[in-house]
């Protein structure tokens, strides 16, 4: 067995042992090597930044990372070398790819639509299992799509690759039995729901504006899609759903604190935003809320804003302090909204991602706990 084949089989074995990869996907995972989708130069996230890996300099490390359980960054800043260092395309983490395909529950002959081709590994796996003619994948970035098309040449089954906006689905191939998005959304595109057959399944990473993220497994019924979250996720956002925050001056034209009301809280603001699950719950309950943090020596200030540009709040975090100064301004009390939802969540026993679910109907997104009728407390307004 070659080094590549050995590394490949070991990864598939590990994924199966973990339960992420179901036995029905094993053959496809063995048939489509992950290294085929990787450029010579890529990056993987580490605890203190990104590790750069160049195959020409270190082929052993390159192969090791290709078959590790790490997401591999293949593009920064939408391909513009502008120094922002935002990862904008990647080959997803194997555990995540396997578990999302498990959630997708494809059956023989199902037609599948994928949004967010990236370098193409997930689409290649789908085509291997479903047959090339049953898989359509849509990528917004023409350079990324061209690279995916080149990568697909090494495969037996080549999916239809479309350069376009995944928010539009792909009407010429509709209706689909299954849909899978591999970039995160905070609003599920209605066109995508509309192109899935009744009782079809749509799997997607849902990431509220406030933070956190989880995979949703939605069952489609007409224009409505509803279902549970199946586990935590962290995906790049669908391009047009990135949020361009207005300048702080739009909220606070003069000097801080303006006329803001002063209060104190014993809930640590960083305890909320540094907790992926807590942030997710806040974001589900208050979808129009976002924050920025400003670190200044001994103190970190959390700034909260609403997208309607009506209100703001600040909370000062000082390490070791038992209470934190809050300022709130505008018709809404944004920190109070955060506190209310966090206290509700704590009182409910800190339920995990899998106990939450989402209903999307007529453009409205309603999050629930355990049952669709058990809506999250709405603290807005």
Ligand X SMILES: C[S@@+](CC[C@H](N)C(=O)[O-])C[C@H]1O[C@@H](n2cnc3c(N)ncnc32)[C@H](O)[C@@H]1O
Q: Scanning residues 211 to 240, which ones bind ligand X (CB under 6 A)? A: 235-236, 238-240
Report, in Å, the least distance between residue 162 CB and ligand X: 9
Which of 103, 128, 141, 177 binds ligand X (CB under 6 A)? It is: 141
Which of 8, 21, 29, 90 binds ligand X (CB under 6 A)? It is: 90
Report, in Å, the least distance between residue 295 CB and ligand X: 28
Report, in Å, the least distance between residue 369 CB and ligand X: 28
Q: Whole-angstrom Cα distance, residue 115 to residue 137? A: 6
At residue 16, φ and ψ (nearest 5 deg) are -70, -40
| Exposure of 10 in the CB half-sphere (CA atoms within 13 A) | 14
Window of 83-91, 243-251, 289-297, 315-323 that interacts with ligand X by CB under 6 A: 83-91
Q: Whole-angstrom Cα distance, residue 282 to residue 276? A: 10
With respect to ligand X, which residue has the nearer C-beta, 242 or 343?
Answer: 242
Residue 126 found at the interface with ligand X (CB under 6 A): no
Smallest Cα–Cα separation from 144: which of 236, 36, 37? Answer: 37
Report, in Å, the least distance between residue 214 CB and ligand X: 16
Tokens of 207: 């990431």
Residue 115 found at the interface with ligand X (CB under 6 A): yes
Which of 33, 94, 118, 357 binds ligand X (CB under 6 A)? It is: 118
Active site residues: 92
Determine contact, residues 178/110, Cβ cutoff 8 Å.
yes
Residue 101 found at the interface with ligand X (CB under 6 A): no
Determine contact, residues 289/309, Cβ cutoff 8 Å.
no
Window of 44-52, 117-125, 339-347, 360-368 that interacts with ligand X by CB under 6 A: 117-125
How many residues line the site for ligand X (CB under 6 A)?
A: 27
Determine contact, residues 89/74, Cβ cutoff 8 Å.
yes
- The DSSP result for 106-166, as a single string, is --TT--EEEE--TTSHHHHHHHHHH-GGGEEEEES-HHHHHHHHHHHTTSSS--EEEES-G
Determine contact, residues 119/148, Cβ cutoff 8 Å.
yes
List Cα–Cα distances, 241 to 154, 167, 209, in angstroms.
33, 10, 9
Torsion sign over Cα 183, 184, 190, 193: positive
Report, in Å, the least distance between residue 242 CB and ligand X: 9
Which of 8, 67, 101, 116 binds ligand X (CB under 6 A)? It is: 116
Tokens of 302: 């959390």
Report, in Å, the least distance between residue 189 CB and ligand X: 8
With respect to ligand X, which residue has the nearer C-beta, 57 or 77?
Answer: 77
Site string for ligand X, 175-214 (x = CB under 6 A): -------xx-------------------------------
Residue 96 found at the interface with ligand X (CB under 6 A): no
Residue 92 found at the interface with ligand X (CB under 6 A): yes
Q: Can you give the binding site for ligand X, defined by CB under 6 A?
A: 88-92, 115-118, 120-122, 138-141, 144, 165-167, 182-183, 235-236, 238-240
């Amino acid at each position: 067995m070659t080094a590549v084949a050995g590394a490949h089989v070991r990864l598939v074995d590990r994924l199966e042992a973990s339960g992420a990869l179901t036995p029905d996907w094993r053959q496809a995972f063995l048939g489509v090597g992950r290294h085929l989708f990787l450029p010579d130069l890529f990056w993987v996230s580490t605890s203190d930044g990104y590790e750069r890996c160049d195959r020409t300099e270190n082929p052993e490390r390159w192969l090791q990372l290709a078959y590790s359980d790490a997401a591999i960054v293949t593009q920064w800043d939408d391909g513009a070398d502008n120094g922002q260092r935002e990862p904008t395309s990647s080959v997803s983490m194997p555990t995540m790819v396997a578990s999302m395909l498990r959630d997708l529950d494809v059956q023989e002959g199902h037609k599948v639509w994928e949004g967010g081709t990236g370098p193409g590994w997930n689409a290649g796996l789908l085509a291997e299992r479903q047959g090339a003619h049953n898989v359509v994948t849509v990528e917004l970035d023409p350079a990324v799509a061209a690279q995916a098309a080149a990568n697909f040449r090494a495969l037996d089954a080549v999916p239809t690759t479309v350069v376009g906006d995944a928010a539009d689905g792909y009407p010429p191939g509709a209706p689909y039995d299954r849909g899978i998005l591999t970039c995160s959304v905070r609003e599920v595109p209605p066109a995508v729901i509309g192109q899935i057959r009744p009782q079809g399944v749509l799997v997607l990473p849902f990431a509220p504006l406030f933070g956190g993220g989880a995979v949703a497994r939605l069952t489609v019924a007409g224009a409505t899609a509803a279902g549970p979250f199946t586990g935590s996720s962290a995906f790049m956002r669908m391009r047009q759903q990135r949020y361009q925050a207005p300048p702080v001056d739009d909220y606070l034209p003069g000097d801080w604190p303006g006329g803001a009301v002063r209060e104190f809280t014993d809930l640590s603001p960083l305890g909320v935003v540094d907790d992926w699950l807590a942030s997710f719950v806040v974001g589900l309950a208050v979808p129009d809320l976002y924050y920025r943090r400003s670190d200044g020596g001994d103190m970190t200030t959390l700034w909260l804003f609403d997208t309607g540009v009506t209100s703001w709040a600040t909370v000062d975090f000082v390490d070791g302090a038992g209470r934190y100064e809050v300022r709130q301004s505008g018709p809404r009390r944004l920190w109070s909204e955060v506190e209310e939802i966090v206290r509700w969540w704590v009182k409910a026993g800190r339920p995990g991602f899998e106990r939450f679910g989402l209903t999307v109907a007529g453009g409205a997104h309603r999050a629930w706990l355990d049952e669709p009728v058990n809506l999250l407390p709405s603290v807005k307004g």
